[in-house]
C-alpha cells in the first residue's frame, strides 16, 4: 500500500510508533523512525531486523530543535529524493491532579506533544510542496474528545493536536498535502501501563467491544490514512477506541 513512499515516524521505537513503523515497512515504505535516545533506536532496529525488515533506519534528534530537524530532513531528502509521509507520534502522558503538577511538568508535556509536532511539521512542508503533495498524520487521543479525570496537561495537549490538524488541513490542502490525526482509545502500550488503575479501569468499562486496543489496531488506521485509499480524506480525527465514550 505504500510502495515507493518515504515515511518519517517520530516516537517510532515502541508501542504504537513501533508497530506503525513495522507495518509501513511491510507495506513497502522506506521508514525513518525517530526515538528519544540512541539505545532505544538501536533496540527497535534490532527487533525489526529479527522480522527480516531492513527498509528502516533510525535517528534520535531533539524534536524541539527546529534547525536540527530541518537539517536532518534535508539529508533524508537528499538520500531518498523525496519525503512523502510524516507521522507525529512522539508524546508523553500525565495523570497528576493539577494541584500537584508543576509548571515545568506541564511545559514538558506541551514541548513534546505540541511544540515538537510544530517543529517537525513546519520543517517538512517545504519538502512536501516540492514533491507536489504529502501526508501529515498526528497522534491524538480519545481524551482530546472527552478529557480525563486527572492529568490535565495530556488532554490539553491532545485538544491542541486536533486544532492543529484541522487547521493545517485547510491551510495546506491547496498544496495537495493532507493532514489527519488518529485518536486511539485505551491501547496496550507502556504509556497506558504506567497509568493508575483508577484512571484506566473506569474507561475500560465504557468500551462496547469489551477490550482495550492493541498497537496494530492503531497502526492499521495510520496505514489507511497514509495510503492512496485516503486521497480525499483530510482534516479528520479518526477515533480508534472500540466506540468507548466517557
Query: Is 18 one of the annotated active-site residues of the chain?
Result: no
CA 132, CA 126: separation in Å to the nearest integer?
Answer: 10
- The count of other CB atoms within 10 Å of the CB of residue 66 is 16
Burial class (CB in 10 A: 0-12, 13-18, 19+), 2: buried
Judge whether 196 and 95 are in contact, CB under 8 Å.
Answer: yes
Angle, CA of 16, 185 and 97, to the nearest 5°: 100
CA 53, CA 26: separation in Å to the nearest integer?
Answer: 7
Judge whether 46 and 69 are in contact, CB under 8 Å.
Answer: no
Cell numbers at 62, concatenated: 531533539
CA 109, CA 107: separation in Å to the nearest integer?
Answer: 5
Strands 56-59 and 30-34, how do they pair? parallel
Q: Give the distance, in angstroms, between the CA of residue 176 and the centroid of all CA atoms in the same chain.
A: 20
Of the candidates 18, 60, 80, 154, the residue annotated as catalytic is 154
Cell numbers at 216, concatenated: 496494530
Catalytic residues: 154
Amino acid at each position: 500500500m505504500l510502495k515507493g513512499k518515504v515515511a518519517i515516524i517520530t516516537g517510532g521505537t515502541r508501542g504504537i510508533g513501533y508497530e506503525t513503523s513495522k507495518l509501513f515497512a511491510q507495506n513497502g515504505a522506506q521508514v525513518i523512525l525517530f526515538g528519544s535516545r540512541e539505545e532505544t533506536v538501536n533496540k527497535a532496529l534490532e527487533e525489526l531486523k529479527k522480522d527480516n525488515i531492513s527498509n528502516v533506519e533510525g535517528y534520535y534528534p531533539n524534536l524541539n530543535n527546529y534547525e536540527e530537524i530541518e537539517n536532518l530532513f534535508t539529508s533524508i531528502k537528499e538520500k531518498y529524493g523525496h519525503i512523502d509521509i510524516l507521522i507525529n507520534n512522539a508524546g508523553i502522558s500525565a495523570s497528576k491532579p493539577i494541584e500537584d503538577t508543576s509548571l515545568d511538568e506541564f511545559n514538558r508535556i506541551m514541548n513534546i506533544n505540541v511544540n515538537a509536532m510544530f517543529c517537525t511539521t513546519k520543517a517538512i512542508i517545504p519538502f512536501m510542496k516540492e514533491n507536489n503533495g504529502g501526508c501529515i498524520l498526528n497522534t491524538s487521543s480519545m481524551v482530546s474528545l472527552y478529557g480525563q479525570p486527572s492529568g490535565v496537561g495530556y488532554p490539553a495537549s491532545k485538544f491542541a493536536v486536533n486544532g492543529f490538524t484541522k487547521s493545517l488541513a485547510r491551510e495546506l490542502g491547496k498544496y495537495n498535502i493532507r493532514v489527519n490525526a488518529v485518536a486511539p482509545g485505551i491501547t496496550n502500550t507502556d504509556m497506558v501501563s504506567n497509568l493508575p488503575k483508577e484512571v484506566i479501569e473506569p474507561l475500560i468499562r465504557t468500551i462496547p467491544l469489551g477490550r482495550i486496543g492493541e498497537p496494530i489496531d492503531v497502526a492499521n488506521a495510520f496505514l489507511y490514512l497514509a495510503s492512496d485509499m485516503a486521497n480525499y480524506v483530510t482534516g479528520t480525527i479518526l477515533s480508534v477506541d472500540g466506540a468507548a465514550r466517557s
